[in-house]
């Protein structure tokens, strides 16, 4: 029976994959749609999974969408994975899910790794209510978005790249003030995992004095 599986993959530590995910990738699907077939190939090799792959990423998803949906409609079972984490969370996936829903194709989303949950829980900031904003706009609309977050009452979660971290922290401090508390988590689940907590100026001072590597999650307290 045709079906689309959304399968989370480890964000760093290869042990962070479920037994169910391994079973589905190994036994239940005809094709694995991968954001980067080279990276997914290393994961599959690690777990002894021998399945055909096809690239599906932000640069080709519009062109490939109709063809993939038609293949699933004819009876193929496919899994969508990204380089790390859960599909559609700041990664490709939304368009394919929406198209499958429109065609009444069965979709099964597995629980699993995603970066913002451990970063939020480990931040020490309230986790009962939060807003996940993903990546801020690089240029157009960036300041507008930051200003919209200033009076947000619940905890705020952002993704950021290493080379923009200091710029983002400074812009947040300029908009939100020097007393606003936050945390920065990087290299989650990896050997050099780090979470630093403090006010925005304290975080700026800390990360200004070191080389910044790894994908980053910023968690900021609400008002």
**CB 131, CB 154: distance < 8 Å:** yes
Q: What pLDDT is attached to residue 1?
A: 81
Q: What pLDDT is attached to residue 69?
A: 97
Report the distance separating Cα 166 and Cα 87, nearest Å. 28
Give residue-wise pLDDT tens across range 98-157: 999 999 999 999 999 999 999 999 999 999 999 999 999 998 999 999 999 999 999 999
- The mean pLDDT of the chain is 96
Q: Determine the Cα angle at 180 with ends 178 and 187, to 5°.
A: 105
**CB 74, CB 1: distance < 8 Å:** no
**CB 216, CB 185: distance < 8 Å:** yes
pTM (two decimals) = 0.92
- In order of their start, the domains of the chain are 3-109 (3.40.1010.10), 116-220 (3.30.950.10)
**CB 14, CB 34: distance < 8 Å:** no
């Amino acid at each position: 029976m045709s079906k689309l599986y959304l399968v989370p993959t480890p964000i760093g530590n290869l042990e962070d994959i479920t037994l169910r995910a391994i079973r589905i990738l190994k036994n239940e699907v005809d094709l694995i749609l991968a954001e980067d077939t080279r990276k997914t190939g290393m994961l599959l090799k690690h777990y002894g999974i021998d399945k055909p792959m096809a690239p599906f990423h932000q640069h080709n998803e519009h062109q490939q969408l109709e063809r993939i949906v038609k293949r699933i409609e004819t009876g193929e079972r496919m899994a969508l994975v990204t380089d790390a984490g859960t599909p559609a969370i700041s990664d490709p996936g939304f368009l394919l899910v929406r198209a499958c829903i429109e065609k009444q194709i069965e979709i099964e989303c597995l629980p699993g790794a995603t970066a913002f949950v451990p970063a939020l829980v480990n931040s020490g900031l309230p986790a009962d209510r939060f807003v996940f904003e993903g990546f801020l706009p690089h240029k157009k609309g960036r300041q507008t978005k930051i200003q919209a977050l200033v009076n947000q009452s619940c905890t705020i979660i952002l993704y950021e790249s290493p080379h923009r971290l200091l710029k983002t922290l400074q812009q947040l401090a300029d908009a939100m003030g020097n007393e606003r508390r936050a945390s920065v988590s990087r290299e989650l689940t990896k050997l050099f995992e780090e979470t630093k907590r403090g006010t925005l100026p304290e975080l700026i001072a800390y990360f200004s004095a070191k080389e910044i590597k790894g994908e980053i999650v910023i968690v900021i307290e609400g008002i």
